[in-house]
Amino acid sequence: MLQKQANTLRFLSADMVQEANSGHPGAALGLADILTALSYHLKHNPKNPSWLNRDRIVFSGGHISALIYSFLHLSGYDISLNDLKNFRQLYSKTPGHPELITPGIEIATGPLGQGLANAVGFAMAAKKAAKLLGEDLINHNVYCLCGDGDLQEGISYEACSLASLHKLDNLIIIYDSNGISIEGDVKIAFNEDVSLRFKAQGFEVFEIDGHDFKQIDEALKKAKRSLKPSLIIAKTTIAKNALELEGSHHSHGAPLGSELIQRAKKASGFDSNKTFFVPDDVRLRFESAIELGDLEEAKWKAELEKSDKKDLLERLLNPNFDEINYPDFDFSKDMATRDSNFEILNAIAKNLEGFLGGSADLAPSNKTELKGMGDFVEGKNIHYGIREHAMAAINNAFARYGLFLPFSATFFVFSEYLKPAARMAALMKLKHFFIFTHDSIGVGEDGPTHQPIEQLSTFRAMPNFLSFRVANAYENLKAWQIALKSEFPCAFILSRQKLKALSKPIFGDVENGAYLLKEDVNPKFTLLASGSELALCMSVAEKLNENNIGCNVVSMPCFELFEKQDEAYKQRLLKSKVVGVEALHSLELYKFCDELYIMQSFGESGKDSDVFAHFGFNTEKLYEYLLRL
């Protein structure tokens, strides 16, 4: 029966790829036995994919999507046979790589390695949830199916190092070791001893035949009992049961061909003339997940009714952002925006139980320590070490878990290390907050290797993402209030150095993305800037006024929000000759500006004031530049 279930998964997957004339059948056929055996261990409810105490299963190799959708369909999720037939088609529930539009998909994994780190994040989130709500309510496991590609990506090492550090005994990684990559035998690029690697990282390691149901079952039982995170190394054959293509790298990313699929079906005892066929007894076996899932959820709800944690759970599920007791800033005081952000972070964390996060070993510099709130798992401070990429992917899983509001912090220039995970957060519209300090050439003495130049432009270019480069505590406070209620992930780009106090908006506000900070009746110029360059623009505007030249100043803390304003609002702000001023290479400002006064090179090492002056970011040089226009 197990073999019949597995072959049904195989041939549904092969038919899907063939129908679409596109996809990856090889790994799907190779993993069918493992997924069949795993189905008998999973605790989930197909009729309620968001049930909190369900086991999470993460498919790190999203190219096995045909297998995933076949499994979800057979298990009773809201995925029809027609959905399988529309595999990889526009508007379908079954896209080429898994996305959140598909019921039962826990997280969109995207690039290889992301899903493995996401699984570590889910396991960490479950440990934190159990600490808050009790193990009677949170006691599920996290399973991750990964392949050679996931383990070759550096993020896998970062994430698994943290899994061992936190003794994530609820994490079970199943490694599909089929020895094949797109270019051929995996040994041409990857020959390390994976077992020794994971044992060195503190994992319990099991090695099995990935097509032997008894071995798979026994390994899963042992892994569930282990007091460590587990890795099951499953030796499999790519394109299992696909006749002459079995074991071939040619099966990885192309349809198997109708004629071969027919012969394979016949060899396995299936009707070779039927496509998308599911035997009744197979469907019955898989769909038992519905009744079992309903029963497990009913038992869980009974536990919840007896629990004294119901109110806490409600607050975690539905945080009240309007009741946060924010700091009472003196807006006339000069302050680095990383310092104002520190106070805001701590205020939010004190008011929202689910707000937590950490820094890539930079909390004293990022100013992101949550004072007196302890370290993970008991507390809210997560020490990620120097692991930006894993940090962001792990926090994506925290955001998807359903109870938490995570933040990730590092220097802005090191955001490059986490950009793939930030992009996935944007694609999924996760409530994930990124804190990037040391925002420009103002980093100073650390020099050009640590001075961001092009980074802000790349974040502004990302859909479904808000980037706040704030100029003072007022903008910082407003930005957080917007971010907490936003449907998008948000970044806060903050200064190391103190910034001069500024007046409040004259027209518009932070929620508009840009607003008038200074206005003249007949301006010759409008200076548009963000962050540390606002004070410079105000100084230049005053000097221009002294010489009877009118000048408006516009603060633009959020480019993306300003883009969304109507034309009337934009025209109210952008009068006469508009000059964009940022100590970054911000070519996107041409969307609003006639001229740009920006960086055209990497930075230099020196005191921040000297570096700013060297590149022309002082009153005299900007004033002289404007007179030449």
CB 15 within 8 A of CB 276: yes
Other residues' Cβ atoms within 10 Å of the Cβ of residue 505: 17
Q: Phi and psi for 52 in degrees, rounded to 5?
A: -65, -40
With a CB cutoff of 8 Å and minimum separation 6, the contacts of 88 are 20, 22, 23, 94, 95, 96
409 forms bridges with which residues in the sheet? 359, 435
Q: How far is CA 626 from CA 506, 570, 596, in A?
A: 23, 22, 11
Counting every residue, how long is the chain?
A: 629
C-alpha dihedral sign at 418, 420, 422, 425: negative
**Residue-wise DSSP of 241-306:** T-GGGTT-GGGSSS---HHHHHHHHHHTTS-TT-SS---HHHHHHHHHHHHHHHHHHHHHHHHHHH
- Which of 158, 204, 388, 560 is an active site residue? 388
Q: Are 32 and 279 in contact (CB under 8 A)?
A: no
Determine contact, residues 382/415, Cβ cutoff 8 Å.
no
CB atoms within 10 A of CB 458: 15
DSSP tag of 418: T
Complete DSSP assignment for 150-211: HHHSHHHHHHHHHHHHTT-TTEEEEEEE--EETTEEGGGT----HHHHHHHTT-EEEEEETT
SS3 231: strand
Residue with tokens 């940090």: 391
Contact 251, 26 (CB under 8 A): yes
Cis peptide before 194 (omega within 30 of 0): no
**∠ CA 492-327-380, rounded to 5°:** 65
Handedness of CA 158, 161, 162, 168 (dihedral sign): positive
Edge to edge, the sheet with strand 355-359 lists 381-383, 355-359, 405-411, 433-437, 490-493, 466-469
> Which of 38, 145, 50, 53 has the alpha carbon at shortest distance from 100?
50
Of 150, 149, 69, 70, nearest to 105 (Cα)? 69
Q: Note if 388 is an active site residue.
A: yes
Nearest to 600 by CA among 584, 616, 588: 584
CA nearest to 238, candidates 2, 13, 575, 19 = 13
- HEC per residue, 525-559: EEEEECCCHHHHHHHHHHHHHHCCCEEEEEECCCH
| Residues with Cβ within 8 Å of residue 196, at least 6 apart in sequence | none
Query: How buried is 331 (Cβ within 10 angstroms: 0-12 exposed, 13-18 middle, 19+ buried)?
Result: middle
Query: Which of 582, 480, 599 has the alpha carbon at shortest distance from 537?
Result: 582
Rounded CA gap, 221 and 537, in Å? Answer: 65
User: In a 3-state reduction of DSSP, which class is residue 566?
Assistant: coil
Any idea which residues carry the catalytic annotation? 388
